[in-house]
Amino acid sequence: MAATFGGAILVTWLALRRDDHLVALAVRYEQVFWAGVGILVMTGVGNLGAFGLGLPAPSTTWGANFTAKLLFVAALVALSLPRSILVVRSAAGGDRRPLPFLYGATVAILAVIVALATLLAHG
């Protein structure tokens, strides 16, 4: 999560600055991002399989937070597919103007996921 979240912050910052190294770093970030998301999803599914029957119901505060986290993870994946495609197109000389918005949205969604994970761990 640290590489995924921290990398998104760095790429967003470079995108806002219109840095010349943005596209090269964004291409590398996308590789790290998808590997990281794959690991996060696999560990989440593993934990769900191991502890699923013992988890509180969605009607509880913990269950509602858990459900929200799952929805935000799904939104993250859905937003990230077009972002990754745009990065590939940008590397080939395409328009990179939407990148600050897409990476900013990635940072925002990841921040919510981290906050919800913290609530779940301490709640």
Looking up tokens 């991002």, which residue turns up?
Answer: 33
Q: What is the pLDDT of residues 68-113, one digit of tens each?
A: 999 999 999 999 999 999 999 999 999 999 999 999 999 999 999 9
pLDDT surpassing 80 at residue 123: no
Model pTM score: 0.90
DSSP H helical segments within 2-91, as ranges?
2-17, 22-51, 61-91
Show Cβ contacts of residue 101 under 8 Å, excluding neighbours closer than 6 positions.
none
Query: How is the chain split into domains, by residue range?
Result: 2-122
